[in-house]
């Protein structure tokens, strides 16, 4: 399992990074990104502390990526925060997309897929124009196993299939019970309407391609 969207106690997750990594390793993960919610008020703190999590790779046979999920940031300020995140050492930048279950500012999806980010998380009822822009800019769209956010998985999968945009299955883990296996991830992808080849790409090849560039 490669999971590129998880949270620790540095935002609203239940586990400190070491326990999150340990539980992911025991669950069979080969790679994990810890992407705590960040805005201008906490991004320096998160990324300066999270650099120390890399030492856990020596003790667990798992690859760990340092990241952030830019969350509820006004669209006009997202470009500056993306640059700041890169300068502070973020290896994975996720933007909290326009999920239908939270009041995310309108325009977040469009701004995010125009920038140097890696994943647009749970993008809700994203437009086909923004899906095409994500494809053009090499940004992955997320199929999520998280309740609520997953209501629009089918819509996202359908538009990505039509345009050829890349998809990745992530958990958006906040608690120990959110971590999943490869088998469950595959079922999430199939449940979103992907065929078997598409589900394999979203759970295996596309996450691998993404982390190989880091």
Q: Which domains does the chain have, with CATH numbers?
A: 2-212 (3.20.20.140)
How do residues 94-128 score in pLDDT, each as one tens digit?
999 999 999 999 999 999 999 999 999 999 999 99
Average pLDDT, the chain: 97
How do residues 121-169 score in pLDDT, each as one tens digit?
999 999 999 999 999 999 999 999 999 999 999 999 999 999 999 999 9
What's the predicted TM-score (pTM) here? 0.97
Burial of 114 (0-12, 13-18, 19+ CB in 10 A): middle
């Amino acid at each position: 399992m490669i999971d590129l969207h998880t949270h620790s106690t540095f935002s609203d997750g239940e586990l400190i990074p070491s326990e999150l990594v340990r539980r992911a390793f025991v669950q069979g993960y080969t790679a994990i990104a810890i992407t705590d919610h960040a805005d201008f008020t906490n991004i320096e703190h998160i990324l300066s502390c999270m650099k120390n999590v890399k030492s856990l790779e020596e003790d667990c046979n798992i690859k760990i990526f340092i990241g952030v999920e830019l969350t509820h940031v006004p669209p006009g300020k997202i470009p500056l925060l993306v640059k700041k995140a890169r300068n502070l050492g973020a290896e994975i930048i996720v933007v909290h997309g326009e999920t239908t279950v939270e009041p995310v500012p309108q325009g977040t999806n469009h701004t995010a897929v125009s920038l140097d980010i890696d994943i647009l998380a749970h993008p809700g009822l994203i437009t086909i124009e923004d899906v095409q822009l994500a494809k053009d800019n090499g940004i992955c769209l997320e199929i999520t196993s998280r309740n609520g956010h997953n209501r629009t998985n089918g819509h996202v999968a359908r538009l990505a299939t039509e345009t050829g945009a890349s998809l990745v299955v992530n958990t958006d883990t906040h608690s120990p019970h959110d971590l999943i296996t490869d088998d469950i991830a595959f079922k999430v992808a199939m449940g979103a309407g992907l065929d078997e080849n598409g589900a394999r790409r979203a759970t295996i090849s596309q996450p691998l391609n993404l982390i190989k560039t880091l």
